[in-house]
Structure 1
């Protein structure tokens, strides 16, 4: 299995679980009595069928072929859902839209990973510490594609008073991550085979460097100003705000998860004289 498949499977399963959760909630909601309960149940069963197929998928083929295989699984269920809806005199519905989006996101995910300055494609998913870092890095890119964060009120206000946009901040974080992946690979070339703890330490220190740079990006993008607030139809007032800065967010979570997987007992970093 590759890191692309590992990440893609997790992201697809998350989408399918959310779809089933929303379907069940709609059946129990105020307008549940107006829904076709039998059709809803059949669609959830097909979603479960796809979930099992994705969960069981394992392949040693190239990621280009893996992409095709996963999309075929999704498309097959999409066709079945469309068929049972047509039999019940319904057009394509929300589940069809979800499945179409999954395949679109899969395409984009694979294209993004293969187009990066450090390509995260056709990398084995194993216990090699650098591969673990690559796996969590790939998942970070995948999350931003499958479940992009939405700008909230504070984020919009932050941008309005001169802060960097969400896209600009994410681009800086992605560039930072790719820079460190390249640097880490070069450092590992200098470590002889068999020195596994040394390899782990080098990767862990690089992850900590990513975390530090991620924090710097957030601090560097902060702004302290006043937000214009409407106090009438034509009047506004400038309301002073505390310093606002972006969250360390998903990149911090992904890197911490990588540390926990590589060094679950924190023993290697404790022994290192270079750890932060």
Structure 2
């Protein structure tokens, strides 16, 4: 069985971004990295291959040629091969649905038994690709997975939800999105980086997939969050209760005062 792991190139999690005067985020000069959630997905896919559950791990991304660096990172972690779906000038406007459609079109030319991806990207926090891709493929899906194991012909997946956690069993080909708790990514060593340069990395022209890249969503505005106001210090518990009462925090909850 082959596992496909879609990944994304994002601004490094340790970098603080700012909205420019033009109303956009300028990534020029910023450190770019493999999306942390996707990194966990790659690690889990490698663990499944090492356990004999899968035979091959392929990583894929949609973007421009600059996105090859995150594919090389995944190859250095241990992925077998990589695919870049080059979206060209459309890269800036490609949304989750276009990515899902591109992945489905690519998968039509290959045979995969599992798609394992991050539950969301840290640059937009939308997290829609996994569910959209599962719907387009007609496959089972499990989102926000914190544990995953193969049981005979089933996948047993532990997922987080509003009520805590739930355990699902999926039959057949499935799409699963990874939480950060799913796996601890291995460290990439210098020898593995050198070996990664010899592994296959194929570039596919996104236009050849016949996918409409017109965005179905529009970003209306980007702005920095408001500056947090300074706190106050109180002398004792009585003063604390008085300060809280002055803010009337229960008014918005509809509770009687």
User: Structures share a fold, TM > 0.5?
Assistant: no
More strand by share: 2
More helix by share: 1
**Structure number, greater radius of gyration:** 1
The higher relative CO (CA closer than 8 Å, separation ≥ 6) is in: 2
- TM-score of the superposed pair, with normalisation by structure 2: 0.23
- TM-score of the superposed pair, with normalisation by structure 1: 0.22
